[in-house]
Structure 1
């Protein structure tokens, strides 16, 4: 077990085979809540965990070989911090059981379960999950809503589920690389999106989502389509099924416009790629075209205006050549 800048990491591969499963179980219990765990071949088990306190939330990536994890009445009595777990299936598959319901997850899918009541998690093969632990009082659901939504698969392929799946998947990648900063603002963004995703399960069809949710959906859509030269205000409004005026008002509240945000994100992507030695073989114009700037001269002007240097000069400063 190691800890760096508040991040906790455990890898059973560093231990003798006979000690790995029990050490992994102990690490999981310490990172989450007291749990029972069973695997067919403890001596051959490989598992790892990385966790971080993120404001009022705790996030963790956990994975390993086939295992069944159980939160029993006995383990609840041993320690009940009163949290919900909101989980993203990153790799492999899993089955979540709680309150007589079952949710079978594939990669990208989401589920929530309540640590105050018994549940089972069954992983039939190698897997990885990214888990957000949220204090009960911050979930934003009534007791009735909470009971209605646990152990239900939330598809990660459309709507708010897709947005949340994408965000948590990105956080999991950053966590593995040690790149997440324990910034309360990050916790707020995650919590807001989780709440919106859960509440959307109860929202009548056709109801307009909140401005915060529209903004997050728009930001994700823009990032996913930066390479499309036709990406603009109208395209984003159509994709989100909201009026142009409403969408413009959402971005105005954030102190920007959609066009400015698209330009900012495109330039940031170009700057990152121009500073990447692995992309040094790509011409400046090819990088610009990849991120939605088919005209090299307009890209050069926009880049110089944003960063005070031409794209070519920036690349030479960073990687030489």
Structure 2
């Protein structure tokens, strides 16, 4: 029978759950930093099984984020491609200057040897699959261009792969080690075919993804500019505002809201990293493009449930 492991924060006092979860995530997924958006009320569950060389993890948790820094990626012992396939909720995946949001019916791939961020801004239930990179390197797909791209799990080979991921995880407890190894090899082949198909697509969908990449790159470069707006982006990219809105039509946040969330995330990271010894909160907010301290405090509390000063004190 394949190796299995189940972990739950239910067995710990509420005050101990956050550090326990951080340790589990770091150990289970090969060195990740995690945070809970400043929340103190947290619940999380991990159930992991092996299918040959593949690791499949069913994750249920309240909102949280994970980050693989450049330094952590540099010291990776083994190279994996990692898949996140939401069952409930959604995940925002960022790697290599690209960002995508995946929800039930879609999945995406990212590289553990390079920095990445995964944001789960609400309660989630995900299936996470880790595939050794050596098992996918023979793919015809140019994998470096396929990281953090949404893959349609509602039709075609992408749906076959997604269905197989879920059914494999569910049936692993009833499989012999040999059967589990075979299931893992089948799943790897289906992922390879999905990536090959994604690499060969030349449709309006991929054109929209390319525009989305350009928008995100522009936002990242000009995030500190308080004048950054949809109008400014449209002028800079020489396209209409309608094209910009259409590019973000299926995202969790419209474009203007996306800009605000990027600014908030930048402020959150700085408040976590420097703690009470850092520069004043108002200075941080202005540095990242907020032109009103009161507006920053309001949207910060809406996002985290805490004031900026309360959040800083907790970290």
Q: Scaled by the length of structure 2, what TM-score is found?
A: 0.59
- Is 1:104 aligned to residue 101 of structure 2? yes
Structure 2 residues without counterparts, runs of 5 or longer: 203-315
Distance 1:163 1:15, change over 3 A: same
**Any unmatched runs of 5+ in structure 1?**
206-321
**Residue 97 (structure 2) pairs with residue 82 (structure 1):** no
CA distance in 2, matches of 1:117, 1:97: 11
Among residues 118, 122, 125, which one is paired with 1:125 in the alignment?
A: 122
What is the CA-CA distance between 1:187 and the residue it aligns to? Answer: 1.0
**Partner residue in 2 for 1:136:** 133
SS in 2 for 1:43: coil
Give the alignment's Cα RMSD to 1 decimal: 2.2
How far apart are residue 166 of structure 1 and its match?
1.4
Question: What's the offset of the Cα at 1:143?
Answer: 9.9
Match of 1:39 in 2: 36
Q: Does 1:95 align with 2:92?
A: yes
User: Within 1, Cα distance between the matches of 2:153 and 2:135?
Assistant: 22
CA distance in 2, matches of 1:180, 1:99: 37
Determine whether 1:146 maps to 2:136: no
Provide Cα deviations, 1:93-143, integer angstroms capped at 9, x if missing partner: 110000011111111211000001000000010102112211111113569
Mapped to 1, the partners of 2:141 and 2:161 lie a distance apart of 23
* Structure 1 residues 191-212: Cα deviation after superposition (integer angstroms, max 9, x where no partner): 111111111112368xxxxxxx
- Name the CA distance, whole Å, in 2 between partners of 1:92 and 1:55: 28
Q: Evaluate the alpha carbon distance shift between residue 38 and residue 161 of structure 1 in structure 2; reply closer, same or farther with a 3 A threshold.
A: same
Q: Does 1:192 align with 2:192?
A: no
Q: Give how far 1:164 is off.
A: 1.3
> Structure 1 residues 23 and 148 mapped into 2: Cα distance closer, same or farther (>3 Å)?
same
Residues 180 and 75 (structure 1), Cα distance of their counterparts in 2 relative to 1, 3 Å cut: farther
Distance 1:181 1:131, change over 3 A: farther
The secondary structure found in structure 1 opposite 2:114 is: coil
What are the residue-to-residue correspondences of 1:10-29 with 2, within 5 Å? 10-29=7-26
Q: In 1, distance between residues paired with 2:200 and 2:140?
A: 17
Q: Does the 8 Å CA contact 1:36/1:75 hold for their aligned counterparts?
A: no
Kept in 2: contact 1:34–1:71 (CA 8 A): yes
Question: What secondary structure sits across from 1:44 in the alignment?
Answer: coil
Q: Which residue of 2 aligns with 1:8?
A: 5
Contact 2:67 2:117 in 1 (8 A): yes
After TM superposition, what 4+ stretches of structure 1 lie above 6 angstroms from structure 2? none
Greater Cα radius of gyration, structure 1 or 2? 1
Please tell me whether the aligned partners of residues 94 and 104 of structure 1 are also in contact (alpha carbons under 8 angstroms).
yes
Within 5 Å, give how 1:49-64 maps onto structure 2.
49-64=46-61
Contact 1:141 1:199 (C-alpha < 8 Å) held by counterparts: no
1:162 to 159, 162, 169: 159
Distance 1:199 1:59 in 2: 22
Task: Give the Cα separation in 2 of the matches to 1:192 and 1:143.
Answer: 12
| Structure-1 separation of matches of 2:2 and 2:133 | 26
Check whether the contact 1:20–1:42 (CA below 8 A) recurs between aligned residues.
no
Partner-residue secondary structure (3-state), 1:125: coil
Q: 1:165 and 1:142 mapped to 2: Cα distance?
A: 18
